[in-house]
Each structure stands twice: as structure tokens, then as C-alpha cells.
Chain A
Amino acid sequence: MDFKVCEIGDFGKYRSDIKMKLTGAQILIESLKKEGVEVIFGYPGGVLLPTFDVLYDAPINFVLVRHEQAAAHAADGYARATGKVGVCLATSGPGATNLVTGIATAYMDSIPMVAITGQVKTSLIGNDAFQEADVTGITRPITKHNYLVKNVEDLSLVIKEAFYVASTGRPGPVVIDLPVDVQFAETEFQYPSDISMRGYKPTYTGHQGQVKKAAKLIEKSKKPVIYAGGGIIISGASAQLREFAEKIQAPVVTTLLGLGGFPQTHELSLGMLGMHGTAYANYAVTESDLVIAVGSRFDDRVTGRLDAFAPDAKVIHIDIDPSSMSKNVAVDIPIVGDAKKILVELNKVVKKPDTAAWLKKMHAWKKDHPLYYSQEGSRIKPQYVVEQIYEATKGDAIICTEVGQNQMWAAQYYKYTEPRTFISSGGLGTMGYGFPAAIGAKLGCPEKTVFDIAGDGSIQMNIQELATAVENKISVKIAILNNSCLGMVRQWQELFYKKRYSYTKLPSLPDFVKVAEAYGAVGMRIKKKEDVLPAIEKAMSIDNVVVMDFVVEEEENVFPMVPAGEAINKMIVLDSLLA
């Protein structure tokens, strides 16, 4: 057979029955195109030179970040905003290790991602070569799966498998470690059309018998609560969840990652539960006689003290991951499968229980224990800023957050009504996540307004990405709730460590307005309450990256708060402090 090495982009011109030789680097990019990849976030390096040479004129949008960690977070934010697989690329050694935090973040929150890392040439692996790190070893516990490609013949199948594994079942990040000589090597290219992995066959359809049992239990319940997590959003089950809740007339609490999975403007919505959940959500779960968990995993920030979590309730658990069942909380009826498929089945058979008295109690709790913050004081309240962002965007923006107080206020004071509009690092709790994630989200959804609600601590962890955003005209709006401290840790020190503020004050903050301007973005400083809304509106009208530095009340706390290890109905609220 006659072989021809073709230039990238030429491949489609040749008849598909004539096999052609491509280099590993060409195969990589061709395969990514076959997977429908539109954008890659990454950073070059020595062992990736063959791949970057192909990228030079490939029809794929490559976004050059300024730190590899941001490449992983941006790919993650893109995936959360669009539901597609996010792709990032970094060189061997330090490039790859810089991805690690981003990969772990995606792993904890079940985000589909393919991370490609360069590796030293196969003959040098294990030799302590320059910029060598055991990347498959390092990423093994923080990936759904990973690959070291030693033969170019394996490459296209590995990529096919990687995208399949990342995006199916319970999604997660997959790493492909690609030595430089494999990028050079040539082989025939044919992208596999089918895939069969005998060790990986996710269950999607729920067991019919279990669904019927669940329906019966629901029918008999008097105080049911639906506890919905990120699985609702991953599975695209929002409409089915709404139908289910309305059908059985049960209140819905969501996790942090479940925000947007059920409209918070709905009368059955109780908002978020857990450590910083609403009082009424936590009361409802504690008093309920039936918890229906959908796409959630009974995380410790949700359950608080396990033996006091819904002590009188039976538990139905719908989740795609069998290992989530009865891991933390004993489950009466587990149903393994896809949340959407199972809710469709359940909606067909379930009958409405009598929940009138229960809902009446809900409404009373909502009225008596609303989310509340004091408007007193001369400084802007951070909660007020979040409320005004909601006001200005009419709830139609994508809100990304950093981690800490900013994240909790963003969760509490903005009403999420649509899936994929709240993007936050829930499981790993990664400071520095929000801004690069916002870059990814904005690239995925260019028509949307994208905010990063940040703290003055978190924003400094990836502030160099201002260059990436400005250069690529990715006009995200950053709202820094600037309290000159690491607020959440400071809050714990105030409440539990006798106000011994050990290393949580940040007196030497940079001038964020000048920083923004130095990078070519627009900076604003807002010190007065009456300037908050106009500033947000102005920022939205500017076709550039905008950094809003809101100087807020320093000692403001996130309430309600369940102390670590306490029952979730034992909350600290603002009034109990004042009293």
C-alpha cells in the first residue's frame, strides 16, 4: 500500500478507504476534531513542540493561559457551562503537576474533562529526565482513568476511550500522558467508530422493581423532601425533577452543586441545605419522614452530624454511582442509574401523597426563618452586592465563584432558576477556581453574561489570567467582595478560636483597579451602597474584562452556619449571636 504523510487539515480531502500515515501529534489533533472539540486551554513546553507545531494552523481555538492550573479550571468551567467535555493541554513535569489541582477539582465534582500532558520520550521514562514526572502515578487517585501512550498505534483508540470514559456514567477527568517520541512517530490513522470496554459499562436504566417500591414509599409518606444534587444538572433532569416535585407536592432542597437544578423562585423550593443552607431547608430534612436523594452523595457539608441527619426518615437514593449508595447514610431503596431516566419512570407510576399539612409547615418556616443579614453599618454588605448582581442580570447570568464566604453568599443571595448557571468548586473547595472557570464558561456560552464572584484572597490565586481574558476578549465581570481578609477562615476564628485572627488578615492587598488597568482590563472601586447597582450595570455594558473592587464590611459572617460535626438543625443564626 502506498502511504503519504499528509498535512493537518488535508486528511478530509483524501478518500477514506486509502489509509494514510499521520504523526502522533497530527493524530491527536485530528482525533480531537472528531470528538467535536472546539477549544483547548493550555500552555506549551519542550516535549509538546510537535503538537504545538500542528496546533499552529489547526482549526481549533487554542487559548493560551498564563498558568497551567487555570487551563484545567477553564476546561472545567467550559464543561460545566456547556455539558461538553473540557480539554486542557500542558507539558511534562511542572506543566502537568500544575494541572493537578484543576484535575482534582473536576474529579470531586464529576466534571467531564480530558487533560493531555506531554511526557519525556519513552526511552527516558524513569530516568529522572529533565521535566519528567510520573504523571499517571500522580493523577491516579484524582482521575476517573488515565493513560500513558507508549505506541502511536494505540493513540486514536486511547483518545476515543478517554472521551467516552470522561463523559459517560458518573463523568470525571481523564488524563492522557503523551511522550514526545509518540508525537513524532507515524502510523495509519483511522478514528475508531465503536467502543467496547469490558471493564466499564455504566448502568443508566433504573431497576423497575426498585422504582415501584420507591413509588409506594412516596405514596405513604407524609413529610417527604427531595434532596437534589449536581447529578440533576449533569443528567439534564431539571424538567423531570420539576414534574416530579409538582406531582408529589414535596419541597425541594438542593446541594451547592445542585443550585439551578430546580428553580429557586418555585414555591416548592427551599433553597440550599447543609452547613450554610437555609434554616427551613435544614429543618425540613431533619423533620422529614422520607428523603428522596437524586444525584447527590450525602457529603459531610450537607449531612452535618450523621446520626442526627433526617433521623426519622426512610431514604430513597437515585444515583448513577453504585458506590454512593449507603456510603455515608443507610439507604432503604437504592436505585442505580441516570437521574433523568429514573425520574421519567418514577413520574409514570408515582401517586401524590397527602402533603398539605407538611407544606403549610414549610411556608411557616420560610416566613419565620428567612435568609437575613443586617443592613446596618457604613460599609457595603457583601450580600447586598450579590443581590444587586441578581437584580442587574435578572437572574440570567452565569455566576462563577471562588471559595469561601464569597461562594456561600453567591449561593445564598442569587436566585438560580436554570441549570448550568452556577459554577463553583464544591467538593475540593478550590480557591482560585472561579476566574479561570468563568473564562471557560464565557467561551462556551459567549452570549451569556458571566460573573466571577470573588474574594480578595481567592482572586489573587489566579489573577494572572487577566492577561488571558483581555488578550482573547473574554469579557468576564469580576466582582471582588473585598473585606481585606480570608473571610471564611476568619469567621471560624471569630466563632471558635476566640477571635485569634491567625494569618487571615490581608493588609497588603494590591490596588485591584490598578492591577486591572495594568493588564488592559477595566477597574472600578465601589465604596458606597448607592453606587453598587450602577457599577454593576456599567460593568455589564463595557465590552471588556471588568474588575469591580467592592470594599465591603470586614467582619461580616455567613449565616446560617452549622458548626462542623453538629446536627444540621443546630444552626448559628445572626439573631442568636446578637441575643
Chain B
Amino acid sequence: MRHTILVLVENKFGVLARVAGLFSARGYNIDSLTVGETEDPMVSRMTIVVKGDDRVLDQVKKQLNKLIDIITVRDLKNDDHIDRELMLFKVGFNQKNKAQLANSIKKSGGLILHTSPKSFLVQMVGPYGKIEALLKNMSEYGIKDLTRTGRVAITKD
């Protein structure tokens, strides 16, 4: 099962390495990890998406909490937060399907940032489900190059 964990950390030298090292040393799988400063420049927030059963997740949380530079660890529930991901990709077209492709991108919530002779450069921002849905729609066209930020999340209250 996938879990989204919010981790508040001291914005200090090496803190990302500590977190990443913990996951690799203990054999936990990270789906994605994003990190950036918060409103307080002394503090950064990480959003970590992990796969694992309850027991693994319990250990992940406890081990993260043990790291000295980690301030809080919160395992998000389905309804207590909003999460988003940014994806950029290029998708090819020919003269026959160009209009249809542009339409499909638009309907899925994607934004065409740049048009080359043979491909669109598309931006998609959304929750995990919508990103995956767009990817599925694009599969028949042939995605050339794709990059994703991983999930960022924030609690509602």
C-alpha cells in the first residue's frame, strides 16, 4: 500500500542524505521524495511516498523520528490533505492526429507549453489519479520524454 508521509526537518547540511540513507540502509522503497523550504527558512518540508504494509510503515515513521534533524513525522490519511504533482513530457504527433491529440491533452487538464514540428511539450499539474489518467490517454501517441516531481502535500487544517 502507498502512504504519503509529511516530514518537517531542520534545514541543515546533510539532512536529505540522512533521510535517503535511512531508506536505503533499512531496505524501504521510496516512490517519490520532494523537499523544499517552508515559510520558515530554518525548516524544510519533505513529502515522501512509500510503499509497504502497516508494519513497514510503522518502522519507517519510528526510524525517521529517531533522526535528530527531523522535527515531526505525519502519516497522511486519505481525506486530511491535498496533494499535487507536476509532470512535464513531450508527445509526438503527425498531421492526421495533431488536433485530436491537442484536444485530448486539453480535456485531461494538460497544458501545451511549446509546439515543435513533430511534438508538443506538455505540463500537467494535478493529483496522482489525474496524472495517471492523462498518461494512459497519451499511451497511444508515444511519449518521448517525461519527468515528474513526485507528490507534494499539505494538510487541510
Contact = CB atoms under 8 A, between A and B. Distances in A.
B65 A322 contact: yes
A165 B68 CA distance: 8
A321 B66 contact: yes
B108 interface: no
A325 B70 CA distance: 20
A198 B71 contact: yes
A358 B69 CA distance: 48
B68 A144 contact: yes
Nearest to A172: B66
Given A321-B66, A322-B65, A323-B63, A140 B71 contact: no
Contacts, number: 40
Category for how many chain A residues contact B:
10 to 19
B68 A148 contact: no
A323 B55 contact: no
Contact of A199 (B17, B55, B59, B67): B67
Nearest to A146: B14
B14 A140 contact: yes
A326 to B, nearest CB: 7
A199 B70 contact: yes
Nearest to B8: A199
B10 interface: yes
A460 interface: no
B21 interface: yes
Interface string A132-159: 0000110011001100101000000000
Contact of A137 (B17, B63, B69, B70): B17
A321 B18 CA distance: 19
A327 B9 CA distance: 24
Contacts of A137: 14, 17
B25 interface: yes
B137 to A, nearest CB: 43
A200 interface: yes
Nearest to B65: A322
A326 B62 CA distance: 11
A150 B10 CA distance: 17
Nearest to B10: A199
Contact of B17 (A140, A144, A323): A140
A199 B68 contact: yes
A195 interface: no
Contacts of B71: 198-199
B58 interface: yes
A197 interface: yes
Interface in A301-325: 321-323, 325
Please give me the 6 A-B residue pairs with the lowest Cβ-Cβ distance, nearest first. Answer: A323-B62, A145-B68, A199-B71, A200-B68, A141-B25, A322-B62
18 contacts: A140-B21, A148-B14, A150-B13, A165-B68, A198-B10, A199-B10, A199-B69, A199-B70, A200-B68, A321-B66, A322-B62, A323-B62, A323-B63, A323-B65, A323-B66, A326-B55, A326-B58, A327-B59
Given A199-B67, A323-B66, 9 more contacts: A141-B25, A148-B13, A150-B13, A200-B68, A322-B66, A323-B59, A323-B63, A323-B65, A327-B59
